[in-house]
Amino acid sequence: MKKNPIIPFALIAVLGILAMIIFSVIGLNEQDKIASDGEESSEESTIREDPEAIVQSCIGCHGGDLEGATGPSLQNIGSKYNQEEIYEIIVNGIEGTGMPSGVVPNEEAEILSKWLAEKK
């Protein structure tokens, strides 16, 4: 008697499906663990203290030396606005212009506004 040729294929298919189910369950558990670890570490390391590191968020619009590109020059911004005004612009943006709100967190906006206010 000959063996049925479908049995090996069915066995492989069943084992493959079981392996996918097992790996999916393991992956879901790992996903939760990774997500909870990521939240803790992202809160600790997101605030930058160096204004020259923070200003990297600005160079796309204001140019590498803050000389202006699609956005205006910031090289003498301290002679036009005081620190509080600069802070408000960074946090809230300027409606009707390309300056968006919330480009950097409020803590970094405070550091950056102080640094920019000194540029006169």
67-102: pLDDT as tens digits = 888 888 888 888 999 999 989 999 998 888 888 888
Extract the annotated binding site: 58, 61-62, 99
Q: What percent of the chain has pLDDT over 70?
A: 90
Q: What is the mean pLDDT of residues 16-39?
A: 83
Extract the annotated binding site for heme c: 58, 61-62, 99
CA 7 to chain centre: 51
DSSP string, the chain: -PPPTHHHHHHHHHHHHHHHHHHHHHHHHHHHHHHHHHHHHHHHH-----HHHHGGGTHHHH-TTSS-SSSPP-TTGGGTS-HHHHHHHHHH--TTSS--S-SS-HHHHHHHHHHHHT--
What pTM did the predictor assign? 0.58
Look at 34 and 83; give whichever has higher pLDDT. Answer: 83
Residue 40 has pLDDT above 80, yes or no: no
